[in-house]
Chains A and B, each alone.
Chain A
Amino acid sequence: MGRPRGFDEAAVVRSAAELFATRSYDGISMDELVTHLGVHRNSLYKTFGSKRGLYQAALTWSLEHEVAPLIGRLQRSGDIAAALRVALTEPGAETGLNLLLLAAVERAPVDGEVAEQLDKVLAAFDEAALQAADANLPAGDADRTADGAKADLAFALTATILGLRLRARAAGSGAGDGGATDIRRAGAALAHHLTQS
């Protein structure tokens, strides 16, 4: 199929991911996409097939290039305190996690493909959190209870990271730096508490 490209597709996809990370899918019209991306409407249709096609490309790009590296750093962070610091303060984490949150709330319930993608990413998130949590739990004890407790802690850690990102979003632009200081402080306090006990 002929797909004439008068534009940089990768840059357009990245720019679409930024836009979709700020507002709801349904709230963004094709007019806004055409204006924001600076690409002719017919070219957008020809390249991506539909608004959903463009959204899928943007979400897939973000999960691969923003969220996956974040998960990688989380995995290598060493302990819970470092994991929270990485997840909440790394540049690039913000857009990726915002898009992930919006996708989970708005698109996953109505789009099976999105639900599947998020399922995999959240599982990877848990896996990385599990490795980070490992350092804070009694070592050597490989019995089932300890494994179960670790998995629960990892699940809670992922939920905490996403929850703090949600709180930062809720704080909006009224909170000076968009709540970034608040979530850093909350993350640090939680990490301190967890690693002391």
Chain B
Amino acid sequence: MAKISIDGDDLVVEMEGLDKLWALKSRLAIPLTNVRGATADPGIIREPKGLRAPGTRIPGLITAGTFHIDGEQVFWDVHDAAKAVVVELADDRYARLIVEVADPRATVALVEAALAAR
């Protein structure tokens, strides 16, 4: 599980609990200008993940860390796919972030409001 918040001009993703360990990352800060949007997308868990490096993947249980696919890097932190949110980025190390949050609908609304206010 991760927590997505807005801090000034940044979108901040903080991994909670042991996910810091699985994902080998505790916090990501992305400038809002590099954020293109957020989408609740439970189905994305069935997509190919690509090559894991570094991170943790136990199919059906956890997908966490940096994955390489089609020449892109994607950051995952998902146990429960039903709560997965996809944050699409531009001009960033990651092409997109796919993280599990407590309330996908509220998170999407938060990101969209921050982008609209920019």
The reply to whether B44 and A41 contact each other, CB–CB distance below 8 Å, is yes
Give the shortest distance, in Å, between A109 (CB) and chain B (any CB). 12
The tally of residues in A whose CB lies under 8 Å from a CB in B reads: 19
A50 engages B39 (CB within 8 Å): yes
Interfacial chain A residues near B47, Cβ < 8 Å: 41-42
- Checking B40, B70, B88, B91 against A49 with a beta-carbon cut-off of 8 angstroms, the contacting residue is B88
CA distance A65 to B90 in the complex (A): 29
Q: How far is the CB of A3 from chain B (nearest CB, A)?
A: 10
Q: Which of A1, A31, A50 lies in contact with B43, CB distance below 8 A?
A: A31
Is A7's CB within 8 Å of the partner chain B? no
Report A-chain residues with C-beta under 8 Å of the C-beta of B30. Answer: none
- Is B95 in contact with chain A by the CB < 8 A criterion? yes
Asked whether B55 is an interface residue with its Cβ less than 8 Å from the other chain, the reply is no
Say yes or no: is A192 at the interface (Cβ < 8 Å to chain B). Answer: no
By beta carbon, the residue of chain B nearest A40 is B47
Annotate B19-57 by CB proximity to A: 1 below 8 A, 0 otherwise: 000000000000000001111111110010000000000
Bound Cα distance from A31 to B41, whole angstroms: 8
Whether B70 contacts A42 by the Cβ 8 Å rule is yes
From 42 to 87 in chain A, residues with beta carbon under 8 angstroms from any chain B beta carbon are: 42, 45-46, 48-53
CB <8 Å contact, B88 and A112: no
B96 on interface, CB distance cutoff 8 Å: yes
A90 at the interface (CB under 8 A from B): no
Chain B 72-118 residues near chain A, CB threshold 8 A:
72, 86, 88, 90-91, 95-96, 108-109, 112, 116
A30-B43, A31-B43, A34-B43 as given contacts; A50 in contact with B36, CB under 8 Å: yes
Chain B residues with Cβ below 8 Å from A106 are none
